[in-house]
Chain A
């Protein structure tokens, strides 16, 4: 049996942020996770909130805080401090975030040639946030043999009317493709392969030279105005800041990274930084098995169990933070007959009636009803029974992140903000 002051279940942004904050204040913290999802799947920016018509994240948060049952109703005041904390924590690990709650939400290009609203991005993606000047050109630069980023298709999508959501668009959008050194004839490259190649200084110098030539070849003539170049988000895993600096220096246009399908390279950088911060403060991370626990008669969870070779791994803990995510993260399980279960403690789930689960339009702008499913809590993030009774279910448990009921994290783009705000509150609560 192992022992911890606090057991955190889940190693996404919410779980790691809660764990680091608790470890910072001297608690003995053990993070347990089934596997990796949130950070490895997410684009790598920090989505606090984005709604049509809201100019800034803060404005969107204020709108959401007025929605009955939305986590921001009680978490909104935590956000500013939580974001400052994240910025400082990532800075210490060499990862910079650009933008804040009051920065305008801007339409930025995606790797399928659409745009999405964003305001807070890592340094490598952030140049996409600046408004496009009247004469500015956008060059979309793909890599031959890399199938997750098709420059022609992206450029075609970005040229379609309405794509830029009424915001200023580039004057011209070009597509170029570049053969990178040693990859001639390759057709099975992954973003991970490319990111690791960029980590090698000897490889990236000629690679950046090739990208430079491709950009210059794709423009009508040298000196035809300012512009930016969109590159797949593969500019290194370990050496990213140095690679970014080199790319800025060597490329004729300002480069920015565009997020790709999973595994997300910016997400991996975020995970690596958070993991390093956790270790620095003495917290532990154990990944690999699904974790279970039970609420005792005293209304507390005394220990968590995970399958292990031969016998169960048992972690006895003073408190438990559940950061297991929603349906996608595996924190909520939906079975065939239509019931929803919370994966670790079997907490009752608040969610839509089964009849509404099947949509006629998978891209319904209202989002999928299951999105708001989750665990109801009191204002101290302790789980309570859904419905009128609101009975407290577990005294020493805190719910954070996408497992919280009432948010539509895909449609409202509030997942990272809720994760940060709730982990900040949970850590403060448990340190009392």
Chain B
């Protein structure tokens, strides 16, 4: 076959191959200018990762062949001999920096998936994916679990045996889940029988707000109720992102199907689904389709109905529907925008909302990545890389001396809090506090 024939065949089949192939084929647009490499936080700090261009568009020529082969599963690709792609943290800055619209991060995510396909995941990666399971056990045994996770001997053993770094920022389990708290307060309805889709919000709390930070979920519910919404908290499981990040795609698809089965009904009825975790909401918006190949009507409906909490509140404000009676919060508030938020492509809505709060002086720290990238920075072989990626951010926070920092994503909050000893809070917590300040 001549090159011209291969190209002709590729471009012919590209249209019919759907999202996965269009991601893979976008390598054809690569100019090899290396702008992506300048934007890569990991390549900035380690030689172990040669940068997004080398493992992405450049290595893609080794992979494309079978992705185009008829009848091939989307992930059954020939491998590039280079395995350094495992060091990609998946932050996505390469794709945003690319002037030629090459889907570098998406391409690399799929290549990492293919690298793991057919191999049994190591126990550590399996464990990091089971946020529902560890969350449930952790909450039930919170005093013991929290003591163990702060016990140096235990952590040293886990480091040696499991491969989770002894210094990694593991969050504290809450004594009660958000769901059980809500049941006690009878604050939420459990079935979609609320008055109207327009005045009702479906809250997707994810694992973080349920098992670790119920106060974040509570703040979001308070803020939504303050604005006259009824908040529904339907049954849900982990969005699946920790499974995707750790190569457990079959399990992730199971989680996705469970969530879609519940959420699609609400989406179809016109309800908005709101989350406080930018990672969960991005998974609902994009990853079910891009990474798990669940591109059916349910997945599209749910994606279209899903909002990040700050995105929704800003949208309400644009429509003149946000209660702007905020009390004064007199503080300078450094803000870190998580990588996952940037992948939403919605700007920095938290900063716009902070402008509505009297006295609150929010400052965008404009640093790319804190390093943690979900579960990446927890792993023994990657902990130092993650800390080096976040180092300029940590230095800046330490030098600034502010005692509270705002950040939309839980794993980033835990990483930054552990590295700097400051208090990290979700933007919606400050809004809830400003509403309270108005009342008092």
Contact = CB atoms under 8 A, between A and B. Distances in A.
Interface string A312-354: 0101000000000000011000000000000000000000000
Given A35-B97, A279-B366, A309-B286, A40 B347 contact: no
14 contacts: A1-B314, A2-B314, A2-B346, A34-B101, A35-B100, A37-B99, A40-B35, A190-B51, A262-B34, A262-B35, A279-B364, A309-B343, A309-B345, A310-B285
Nearest to B33: A262
B377 to A, nearest CB: 20
B35 A36 contact: yes
Interface string B282-312: 1001100000000000000001101000000
A288 B96 contact: yes
B86 interface: no
B50 interface: yes
Interface residues of B, number: 38
B28 to A, nearest CB: 15
A244 interface: no
Interface stretch (B37-45, B66-74, B183-191, B240-248): B37-45
Given A34-B99, A288-B96, A263 B344 contact: no
B38 A268 contact: yes
Contacts of B34: 190, 192, 262-263
Contacts of B97: 35-36, 287-288
Given A1-B315, A290-B101, A307 B37 contact: no
Given A36-B99, A311-B304, A284 B348 contact: yes
A378 interface: no
B409 interface: no
A213 interface: no
Chain A CB count within 10 A is highest, among B43, B51, B96, B346, for B346
Nearest to B363: A279
Given A35-B35, A279-B366, A313 B99 contact: no
Contacts of B349: 2
A84 interface: no
Interface in B155-174: none
Q: How large is the interface on A (under 10, 10 to 19, 20 to 34, 35 or more residues)?
A: 35 or more
A188 B345 contact: no
Given A190-B37, A196-B44, A3 B345 contact: no
B95 interface: yes
A192 B315 contact: no
Interface string A22-59: 00000000100011110011000000000000000000
B98 A307 contact: no
Contacts of A309: 282, 285-286, 303, 343-346
- Going nearest first, the 5 A-B pairs with the smallest beta carbon separation are A308-B345, A288-B96, A35-B99, A310-B285, A309-B285
Contacts of B304: 310-311
Contacts of A268: 38
A1 B44 contact: no
